[in-house]
Amino acid sequence: MTTTTNRILRFVWPVVPALLAVLVVTLLLILVSDNPPRVTYEALWTGSFGTPERTFSTLAFWVPLLLCATGLLVTYTAGLWNIGVEGQMIMGSIAASAIALRVALPNPGLPGWIIVPLELMAAAAGGALWAALAAMLKTRGGVHEIFGGVALNSLAIIATNYLISGPWQPPEGGTFRGTVPFPARALLPLLGETRFSPLSLALALLALGLVVLTLRGTTWGLRLKALGKNLRSAFLLGVSSEREAVTAMMFCGALAGLAGAVRVLSWFDSLRQSISGGIGFLAILIVLLAAQRPLWTLIIALIFSALLTGGTVVQLRTQLHSAISGIIQGMLVLTTLLFGDYRRLFRWSPGTEAREVPHD
């Protein structure tokens, strides 16, 4: 296999598992549904992009998903399984809520162009510090980032429930529904009556571009790649595994914190229970499916957002359960695991060229 063929396959091959997943789901729909599969797919498309409002709803869910996935590109490059991204997102939402409730609410004269940047900076700091704690548990305490991340996720959920039913409870009394609504000037500027903030999309795309440039064209990016590929070689090259691990986790945590701020300042208008909505865990799956490729990370994140947004319309129009979107996601994962590595399928390894077989 030539180098050119390898590059082409590497770029286009992710489409193959997706097509296989669609084929399998189509066969399942033929077996279990009274409607043609086309009706289900049309309902899914309508629910995701059928109207401007639904399109903006899909984009509003896509933005925090993309922010978390972008941060995970950094930690996975460094060989770190940042399972704690969900908790980092929650802590970002808590930090942004603290500014809204403790700064914006008591100071009605403070303008939004001051409050919103403060909320975003606080969210990034909250997520980064929570990620730094997981990194320090790994580098200093010998606790694997998976176990540390799971524990910190639980603590972040407990902290949210405590705040909305305790110190930040509404005047009418404690509740697990959420805090009092934030002032309008403390929210991200939205597009019309939708939940979509163009500012949040700009931040997500800027973050993705920054990560791509960092990983491909900076010394820090090379150090992260060395750390992720071979720990011993990185040590011999003078790369500090502790320093790079902490900075990579904090960078990811900062983006996850921003994702939490987007959720609490645009999708909602207050701190709610389960504010993350499982976005952090979904982002982990997306980066794995994309094999850490930024462009495919962006595309797969949008596809997953569309599937989740359009599931309700599928249920209304076809009488199928909205979990059909979850079935499609699961099938995407399965086909990617089975057929995602074209080199394994073709029994080819990097650096090996096809050889001519002599004829008699």
Residue 229: is its pLDDT beyond 90? no
The answer to whether 60 and 267 have CB atoms below 8 angstroms apart is yes
Q: How many CB atoms lie within 10 A of CB 337?
A: 12
Higher pLDDT, 147 or 328: 147
Determine the angle formed by the axes of helices 112-139 and 85-99, rounding to 10 degrees: 150
Residue 348: is its pLDDT beyond 70? no
Q: What is the pLDDT of residue 359?
A: 43
Residue 331 Ramachandran class (φ > 0 left, ψ -120 to 50 alpha, else beta): alpha
Q: What's the token pair of residue 208?
A: 């993705």
Most confident of 8-12, 136-140, 313-317: 136-140
**Mean pLDDT estimate for the chain:** 85
Higher pLDDT, 308 or 63: 63
Q: What is the pLDDT of residue 322?
A: 66
Q: What is the pLDDT of residue 43?
A: 86
12-24 per-position pLDDT tens digit: 777 788 888 889 8
What is the C-alpha separation between 90 and 62, in angstroms, rounded?
17
